[in-house]
Structure 1
Amino acid sequence: MQFRVLLHLCLLLAFAGQAVAETATKGKPSPVDGVPVAVAEQDAAVPAVAQPKAANRGKQAVRDGKTSLEELQRRPVDIAADRLEQDEQAGWYRAEGNVRVTSGPVSLLSDRVRVNPETEDVLAEGHVVLEGPEGILRGDRLAMNLGTGLGRLDGGSVFLRENNFHIAGDLIEKIGEKTYTVRRGTFTSCDGIDPDWHFSARDLKVTVDGYARGRHAFFYLGGLPVLYTPYILFPVKRERETGLLMSSFGYSQRRGTQISVPFYWAIARNQDATFYLDWLSELGLGKGIEYRYIFGQENAGEARYYHVSGTGGAGDRYAVEWDHVGPLPGGWIFTSDSEYVSSRDYWQDFGEVAGEYNKDKVDSTLTLGKGWRRINLTGQLRYSKDLQGDNDQTLQRLPEVRLDVLRQRIGQTAYSWELESSATYFWRREGIKGERLLLRPALSADWSLWDVFEIQPTIGYTERLYWTSNDGPGYEEKGLFDFSTRVSTRISRVYQPVDMRVERLRHSIEPDIRYEFVPNRDQSQLPEFDVRDRIDARNRISYGLVNRFVGRWSGEDGSPVYHEFLYLRLSQEYDIRESRRSLLDPTDEKRPFSSLRTEMILRPNAGTLLDLDFRYDPDAGRQRFSTFNLLGRYRDGRGNGIKAEYRYARNQVEYVDATLEFDLFRPVYLDYRHRYDLRDDEELEKALDLEYRSQCWSLFLTLRDREGDRSFMVTFELAGLGRVGSIGGSLGGGN
Structure 2
Amino acid sequence: MIRSALTLLLLLGLTLVAVVADAQEELLPVAGEEAVSLDAGSLSYDKPTDTYHAGGGVSLKRGTLELRAESMDWNRSSGEAEATGGVYFKAPEGVMEGDALRYNLETGRGLLSNGRAFAAGQSFHIAGREIEKLGVQEYRVSDGTFTTCEGERPSWKFGAKEFRVTLGGYARASHVLFYIKDIPVLYIPYIVYPAKTDRESGLLMPRYGFSSRRGTQFSLAWYQVLARHLDATFEIDYMSKFGIGKGLEYRYILGEDNQGTFHGYHVTEAGRTDRYSLTGQHQGSLPAGVRLAADVDFVSSRDYYADFGESYEIYTRDKAQTVFYLARNWEKLNLSGQFRYTKDLEQESEATLQRLPELRLAGITERVDDSPFFLRFDLEGDHFWRRKGEKGGRVMLRPALSTDLLSNPLFALVPEIGYRERLYSTSADDFQRQGLFDFGARASSQLSRIYSIDGSSVKRLRHSIEPEIGYSFIPSVDQSSLPEFDLLDRIGPESRLSYGLTNRFTARLESESGERIYHEFLYLRISQSFDFRESRRELEFSGDTRRPFSPLLFEAVIRPSRWSYLDLDASYDTNSGENRLVDYNLRGSLADSAGNSLYLDYRNRRGELEYLAAVLETALLNPVYLRLEDRYDFLTGKALESLVGLEYRARCWSFFITYRERPDDQEVLVSFSLGGIGRVADLGATRSAAANDSQK
- With normalisation by structure 1, the TM-score equals 0.86
Q: Give 1:214's match in structure 2, choosing from 152, 155, 173.
A: 173
Shift of 1:243: 3.2
2:561 partner SS:
coil
Q: Which residue of 2 aligns with 1:29?
A: none
Displacement, 1:647?
Answer: 0.1
CA deviation digits over 1:6-33, x for unaligned, max 9?
Answer: 84669xxxxxxxxxxxxxxxxxxxxx86
| CA distance in 1 between partners of 2:75 and 2:362 (Å) | 80
Following TM superposition, by how much is the alpha carbon of 1:386 offset from its aligned partner in structure 2, in angstroms?
1.4
Whether contact under 8 Å (1:38, 1:86) holds in the other structure is no
* 1:295 pairs with 2:251: no
Residue identity opposite 2:263 in structure 1:
R
Contact 2:10 2:17 in 1 (8 A): no
2-structure distance, mates of 1:173, 1:662: 46
- Give the partner amino acid of 1:539: S
Counterparts in 2 of 1:622 and 1:204: CA distance versus 1, 3 Å: same
How far did 1:414 drift? Answer: 6.1
Give the alignment of 1:542-561 within 5 angstroms.
Answer: 542-555=498-511, 557-561=513-517
Deviation at 1:640, TM superposition (A): 0.7
User: 2:24 maps to which residue?
Assistant: none
| Cα separation, 2, equivalents of 1:620 and 1:697 | 65
Offset, 1:683 = 1.3
Q: What's the secondary structure of 1:356's corresponding residue?
A: helix
Higher deviation after alignment, 658-667 or 239-248: 239-248
Structure 1, gaps ≥5 residues long? 11-31, 41-51, 58-72
Structure 1 residues 230-239 or 103-112, which shifts more?
103-112
Sort the Cα spacing of 1:3 and 1:420 in 2 relative to 1 into closer, same or farther, 3 A: farther
Count of aligned positions: 684
Counterpart of 1:166 (choices 113, 118, 125) is: 125
Give 1:205 shift. 1.0
Q: Which residue identity lines up with residue 529 of structure 1 in the other structure?
A: F
1:625 corresponds in structure 2 to 581
How far apart in 2 are the matches of 1:414 and 1:88?
Answer: 106
Identify if the C-alpha distance between structure 1 residues 115 and 467 changes in structure 2 by more than 3 Å, giving closer, same or farther.
same
Match of 2:631 among 663, 666, 675: 675
Moved more, 80-89 or 428-437: 80-89
Q: Is the 8 A contact 2:302 2:346 kept in 1?
A: yes
Taking structure 1 as reference, are residues 626 and 349 closer, same or farther at Cα in structure 2, changes over 3 Å only? Answer: same
Give the gaps of 5 or more residues in structure 2: 22-26, 692-696
SS of equivalent to 1:665: coil
The alpha-carbon deviation at position 140 of structure 1 amounts to 2.1
Is 2:164 the partner of 1:183?
no
Looking at structure 1, the residues matched to 402 and 142 of structure 2 have their Cα atoms a distance apart, in angstroms, of 83
Q: Summarize the Cα distance change of 1:87–1:707 in structure 2 as closer, same or farther, 3 Å threshold.
A: same
* Structure 2 counterpart of 1:44: none
**Offset from partner CA, 1:261-299 (integer Å, 9 cap, x none):** 222333333332222222211112222221222333333
Cα distance change on mapping 1:7 and 1:405 into 2, 3 Å: farther
Distance 2:19 2:258 in 1: 67
| Offset from partner CA, 1:505-547 (integer Å, 9 cap, x none) | 1122221222222222221111111122122322222211111
- CA pair 303-734 structure 1, distance change in 2 beyond 3 A: closer
- The alpha carbon displacement at 1:661 in A equals 0.4
Quick one: distance in 2 between partners of 1:411 and 1:674? 61
> 2: distance between equivalents of 1:730 and 1:397?
26
Contact 1:453 1:487 in 2 (8 A): yes
User: Is the CA contact 1:611–1:632 (under 8 Å) kept in the aligned structure 2?
Assistant: yes
C-alpha distance 435-176 of structure 1, shift in aligned 2 (>3 A): same
* Superposed counterparts of 1:485-496, under 5 Å: 485-496=441-452
1:403 to 2:378 alignment: no
Letter in 1 for 2:30: A
Partner deviation per Cα, 1:579-608 (whole Å, 9 max, x = no partner): 233699998634322221111111122212
User: Residue 466 of structure 2 is aligned with which of 476, 485, 510?
Assistant: 510
1:547-599 C-alpha deviation (Å, 9 max, x unpaired)? 12111122354221111111111111122222233699998634322221111
Q: Is residue 725 of structure 1 aligned with residue 681 of structure 2?
A: yes
After superposition, residues 537-576 of structure 1 pair within 5 angstroms as: 537-555=493-511, 557-576=513-532
State the match for 1:69 in structure 2. none
After TM superposition, list the pairs within 5 Å mapping 1:635-654 onto structure 2. 635-654=591-610
Mapping of 1:363-442 within 5 angstroms? 363-408=321-366, 415-442=373-400
Partner of 1:469: 427
Contact 2:549 2:575 in 1 (8 A): no
CA 1:78–1:682: 2 relative to 1, 3 Å: same
Give the aligned partner of residue 689 of structure 1.
Answer: 645
Pick closer, same or farther for the CA change 1:679–1:88 going to 2, 3 Å: same
Match for 2:425: what amino acid? W
Q: Which amino acid aligns with 1:417?
A: L
Residues 478-509 of structure 1, C-alpha deviations (whole Å, 9 max, x = no match) = 11222222222222222222554211111222
CA shift digits 1:664-687 (9 cap, x unpaired): 112211111111111122111111
Tell which deviates more after alignment, 321-330 or 154-163: 321-330
Alpha-carbon contact 2:243-2:268 (below 8 Å) kept: yes
Distance 1:528 1:207 in 2: 68
Distance (Å, rounded) in 1 between the aligned partners of 2:600 and 2:652: 33
User: How much is the aligned-residue C-alpha RMSD, in angstroms?
Assistant: 2.9
2: CA distance, partners of 1:55 / 1:294: 53
The answer as to whether partners of 2:245 and 2:685 remain within 8 angstroms in 1 is no
Question: AA paired with 1:299?
Answer: N
Query: Aligned match of 2:218 in 259, 280, 283?
Result: 259
Residue of structure 2 aligned with 1:355, choices 294, 313, 330: 313
CA distance in 1 between partners of 2:100 and 2:687 (Å) = 55
Structure 1 pair 622/533, CA: closer, same or farther in 2 (3 Å)? closer
For the residues of structure 2 that align with 1:53 and 1:556, how far apart are their CA atoms? 63
In the TM superposition, what is the alpha-carbon distance from 1:465 to its structure 2 partner? 0.3
> Aligned pair in 2 of structure 1 residues 594, 124: CA closer, same or farther (>3 Å)?
same
Q: Tell me, yes or no, if structure 1 residue 326 matches structure 2 residue 307.
A: no
CA distance in 2, matches of 1:132, 1:444: 77
Deviation by residue 1:593-650 (Cα, 9 ceiling, x = unmatched): 2221111111122212111100112347577111100112110111111111110112
* Partner AA of 2:658 in structure 1: T
Q: State the partner residue of 1:15.
A: none
Q: Deviations over 1:400-435 (max 9, x none)?
A: 222222334556776543322122211112111111
User: Structure 1 residue 520 and structure 2 residue 520: aligned?
Assistant: no
Structure 1 residues 53 and 640, CA gap change in structure 2 (3 angstroms): farther
TM-score in terms of structure 2 length: 0.91
Name whichever of 219-228 and 129-138 sits farther off: 129-138
Q: Does 1:145 align with 2:115?
A: no
Equivalent position of 1:25 in the other structure: none
Which aligned pairs between 1:90-239 and structure 2 lie closer than 5 A?
90-93=49-52, 95-101=54-60, 107-132=66-91, 134-239=93-198
In percent, how many aligned pairs have the same letter? 44
> 2:370 and 2:654 mapped to 1: Cα distance?
66
- CA distance in 1: counterparts of 2:354 and 2:379, whole angstroms: 19
SS at match of 2:458: coil
Distance 2:62 2:371 in 1: 75
Deviations 1:120-157 (A, max 9, x none): 33333322223455432212222222222111112211
Do the aligned partners of residues 416 and 216 (structure 1) sit closer, same or farther apart at CA in structure 2, a change above 3 Å counting?
same
Q: Deviations over 1:413-465 (max 9, x none)?
A: 76543322122211112111111111122233456545321333333221110
Q: CA deviation at 1:335?
A: 2.6
Matched residue SS, 2:350: helix
Decide whether the 8 Å contact of 1:306 with 1:731 is kept in 2. Answer: no
Match for 1:650: what amino acid?
Answer: R
Q: What is residue 343 of structure 1 aligned with on the other side?
A: 301
Pair 1:701 & 2:657 matched: yes
Moved more, 694-703 or 617-626: 617-626
